[in-house]
Chain A
Amino acid sequence: NAGVMQNPRHLVRRRGQEARLRCSPMKGHSHVYWYRQLPEEGLKFMVYLQKENIIDESGMPKERFSAEFPKEGPSILRIQQVVRGDSAAYFCASSPLGPQRSYNEQFFGPGTRLTVL
């Protein structure tokens, strides 16, 4: 049973370009979370998605950032017009059941390290 998959593992973009990060959840998981990790910091929640729905995007910047989880295919985190401050590791996690269960066990992917030049 493959774990959470993310690609690319490393991404280099110049300021102003777009970054597109992909996440395939574990088999049987239909809930995806995206987190951002800055150096020497913990992970910060960005957005929670179910298939074809954004459930909570309270942690995501209002501008330039968007996320989707289509009916078919991976979840995508898109950052438009990247700036140097977007350089970070971006992790997605998947959960077998949504918050309706009594606890929210999340399994993380290996992350995408974004570097903005």
Chain B
Amino acid sequence: DARVTQTPRHKVTEMGQEVTMRCQPILGHNTVFWYRQTMMQGLELLAYFRNRAPLDDSGMPKDRFSAEMPDATLATLKIQPSEPRDSAVYFCASGGPPQGGGSYNEQFFGPGTRLTVL
């Protein structure tokens, strides 16, 4: 049963600390998305990658957030330094390509990382 995995599932940290969240997309998927979900803002797209290259990171605060794909099986989202307003659930999703049995129309979401910054 292929699924997107995310680690850690929960993270509590203090303001100013670095936070790294990891995502393993479904094998064969070549598009990876990072979302942030809060009660106030709902679901926001932070960044996404295709074939490990960033396509759009306009939703991400550039001064403290960074996203990378060191290889096809790992995507990372880093916050440095973290602030209380970063408290949210961060989701990773993957999708495509059609020739790999996937679909660019459907995104498969991981279970999320719940981040609390004190």
Q: Do A and B make up one complex?
A: no
Q: A residues touching B (Cβ–Cβ < 8 Å)?
A: none
